[in-house]
Structure 1
Amino acid sequence: MHALVTGASSGIGAAIATRLLADQWRVTGLDLTPAPRDAPGCAHHQLDLTDAARLRDLLGRLDGVTALVHAAGVLRVAPLGALDAEAGAAMWRLHVAAAEALADALVPRLPAGGRIVLIGSRTASGAAGRSQYAASKAALIGLARSWAAELAPRGITVNVIAPAATDTPMLADPARTGVAPKLPPIGRFIRTEEIAALAAFLLSAEAGAITGQQIVVCGGASL
């Protein structure tokens, strides 16, 4: 079992890489930043996922990938009247275009029973001041459902995990503006290990009948 995990240097991506390594997966991580020192066993490649040429070259040299987890993400907030076109385009390139490039290169080589998990966001349902971010995350749902329908005959599943406020560096990013995140009804932020546990299940053989779904992990915020 060999998983390619984007955003593997921190936050949800790092937690997923750590969990998969503990589950005896072979893990290749991709991230703009260096690998954390406490991630032995993960083959890490530092690159910008929005650099299409470099990404295509790297993917062409990877062998034996059986699962893809696209966890790389960035959040920028802007209300109407102050939308930042470049910030919106950057989020689209990272969240959507990179997902397309990854899947387009890897899916023809995925074996029967392969797995794809995209990390979306509960914000995809809409949030004041975050329309550009929400749009890029909502697009992942369309990709996942379309790919799931296309790949079901090969036994390849495609799903989206949509967390609400999760205890990651993104939550404290100084570039994040607007309303401070609120604790969900469970009284704490979601832990990255909880998202990683769900991702590990969706990548397992036991999850072979779950495909084309968005699973929201919100700590009760949707109630």
Structure 2
Amino acid sequence: MSRSVLVTGGNRGIGLAVARRLSADGDRVAVTCRSGEPPSGLLAVNCDVLDATAVDEAFDKVEAEQGPVEVLVANAGITRDTLLIRMSEQDFTSVIDTNLTGTYRVVKRAARHLMRAQAGRVVIISSTAALSGVAGQVNYGASKAGLIGLARSLAREFAPRGVTVNVVAPGLTDTAMSTALADGQRERIVGQIPLGRMADPEEVAAAVRFLASTEASYITGAVVPVDGGMGMGH
């Protein structure tokens, strides 16, 4: 059955790959965009997850177009990479507010319908930076680790209502975020990956698709790394 899906930050990279994969399966898929071009073939709504009112308005638009959200993929996020000694408080708080508090806002808004319906899926996009740590990403790693704690607490809250909450933790993925790295930095990271390459966004999307499916109905509170083995053991 076609479901109403919302992917935050779904106009590029991993979010867009997830949105297109779920749309190809027959779901009605909307994406939120803060900047950049809206993707063709998908319902796009402007939304800054820093603004609770904007989140509420985005959900109102999605609900009017395709019905209450039954599957939420919380993907919107930013980086402000630098070593701690150079990191301003604004660098730190902006990443926490977008990646962690922004996810709190969208999940809280989606929960209104999910709890009443006693069914649904929430998939949160974290990172292997949350598991093994990355120098120069104190803010990003903290925000992505926070998402795991958020998701596992929500999994316990939502389980009595039949709603699952899971996490996908990608490693280095072939997106605009990775191409922004210096060549030497990217090569150094790839050299630490047992499979010896970056992930394709479609590989991350495949994990999200599974966790959002009926086949994953007995999985909740899980963290699924899609990282070529880089974070194994964490």
- Specify the TM-score bucket, using the shorter chain as the normaliser: over 0.9
Structure-to-structure mapping, 1:164-179, within 5 angstroms: 164-173=171-180, 179=185
| C-alpha deviation, 1:54, in angstroms | 1.6
C-alpha distance in structure 2 between counterparts of 1:120 and 1:108, whole Å: 23
C-alpha distance in structure 2 between counterparts of 1:79 and 1:112, whole Å: 44
Q: In 1, are the aligned partners of 2:46 and 2:58 still within 8 Å (CA)?
A: no
C-alpha distance in structure 1 between counterparts of 2:183 and 2:151, whole Å: 29
| C-alpha deviation, 1:56, in angstroms | 2.0
Per the alignment, residue 220 of structure 1 pairs with 229
Structure 2 residue 68 is matched with structure 1 residue 68: no
Per the alignment, residue 43 of structure 1 pairs with 43
| C-alpha deviation, 1:130, in angstroms | 1.1
Structure 1, unaligned runs of 5 or more: none
Structure-to-structure mapping, 1:18-167, within 5 angstroms: 18-37=20-39, 39-40=40-41, 42-61=42-61, 62=63, 63-110=67-114, 111-125=117-131, 126-167=133-174
Q: In 1, are the aligned partners of 2:49 and 2:105 still within 8 Å (CA)?
A: no
**Higher mean C-alpha displacement, 51-60 vs 183-192:** 51-60
C-alpha distance in structure 2 between counterparts of 1:26 and 1:167, whole Å: 26
Per the alignment, residue 217 of structure 2 pairs with 208
Query: For the structure 1 residues 81 and 178, does the alpha-carbon distance in structure 2 shift closer, same or farther, using more than 3 Å as the test?
Result: farther
- Report the AA paired with residue 154 of structure 2: W
C-alpha distance in structure 2 between counterparts of 1:25 and 1:159, whole Å: 19
Counterpart secondary structure, 1:182: helix
Per the alignment, residue 14 of structure 1 pairs with 16
Counterpart secondary structure, 2:84: coil
Query: For the structure 1 residues 160 and 178, does the alpha-carbon distance in structure 2 shift closer, same or farther, using more than 3 Å as the test?
Result: farther
Structure 2, unaligned runs of 5 or more: none
C-alpha distance in structure 2 between counterparts of 1:32 and 1:11, whole Å: 14
| C-alpha deviation, 1:172, in angstroms | 1.8
Query: For the structure 1 residues 57 and 178, does the alpha-carbon distance in structure 2 shift closer, same or farther, using more than 3 Å as the test?
Result: farther
| C-alpha deviation, 1:34, in angstroms | 4.0
Q: Report the structure, 1 or 2, having the larger helix content.
A: 2
C-alpha distance in structure 2 between counterparts of 1:147 and 1:202, whole Å: 15
Instruction: Report % sequence identity.
Output: 38
C-alpha distance in structure 2 between counterparts of 1:95 and 1:178, whole Å: 27
Q: In 2, are the aligned partners of 1:129 and 1:178 still within 8 Å (CA)?
A: no
Q: In 1, are the aligned partners of 2:100 and 2:146 still within 8 Å (CA)?
A: yes
Per the alignment, residue 191 of structure 1 pairs with 200
Superposed structure 1 runs of 4+ greater than 6 Å apart: none
User: For the aligned residues, what is the CA RMSD?
Assistant: 1.9
| C-alpha deviation, 1:194, in angstroms | 0.5
C-alpha distance in structure 2 between counterparts of 1:33 and 1:5, whole Å: 15
